[in-house]
Amino acid sequence: RMLADLSLYNEFRSWKDDPTMDRSCPFLDKIYREDIFPCLTFSKSELASAVLEAVENNTLSIEPVGLQPIRFVKASAVECGAPKKCALTGQSKSCKHRIKLGDSSNYYYISPFCRYRITSVCNFFTYIRYIQQGLVKQQDVDQMFWEVMQLRKEMSLAKLGYFKEEL
């Protein structure tokens, strides 16, 4: 396969020698700017920032709506959207999933479009965390880089609005 972005490849190789989750390192900085920030930019920007922080801290959970009894949560939860309104965009959409950030008791209903954007970023973070923790052993550096590129492609498709209805 042809190497599309040689500078990113070299940044990835350097990152892999001493993997960090620090977003200011050259490898992650580029991916934050080009993929992660655009993917997790929503009209409800305060909630969007909280989502990014939860993704970075690995404390975001996504679950299908309707499998659990509706719980009454504190009054502030009223603004978390509803099964017919996405909490991240404010748009009237059928929301089949909801997210929870950290140990908050608030659930936020999200549209399939937002869910795909969030899960594509989560998948990227999961993979680079695995590399950082030394859990990716079967692949050489080139295979790891191509997997990173595949995950970037998923984020790009998500931010453009392409999503699979059932993920």
pLDDT of 50-78, one tens digit each?
999 999 999 999 988 875 555 554 444 43
Number of domains comprising the chain: 1
User: Is 167 part of any domain?
Assistant: no
User: pLDDT tens-digit profile of 25-49?
Assistant: 999 999 999 999 999 999 999 999 9
User: Is 64 part of any domain?
Assistant: yes
Mean pLDDT of 137-151: 91
49 three-state secondary structure: helix
Distance CA 42, CA 34 (A): 15
User: Is 21 part of any domain?
Assistant: yes
User: Is 47 part of any domain?
Assistant: yes
User: Is 118 part of any domain?
Assistant: yes
User: Is 165 part of any domain?
Assistant: no
User: Is 166 part of any domain?
Assistant: no
* pLDDT value at residue 163: 67
User: Is 27 part of any domain?
Assistant: yes
Domain residue limits at 52? 6-160
pLDDT band at 84 (very low <50, low <70, confident <90, very high): confident
- Please state the pTM of the whole predicted model: 0.85
Q: Which residues, at least 6 apart from 39, have a Cβ–Cβ distance to it below 8 Å?
A: 117, 118, 120, 121, 155, 158, 159
**39-58 per-residue burial string, b: 16 or more CB within 10 A, e: under 16:** bbebebeebbebbbebbeee
* pLDDT value at residue 74: 45
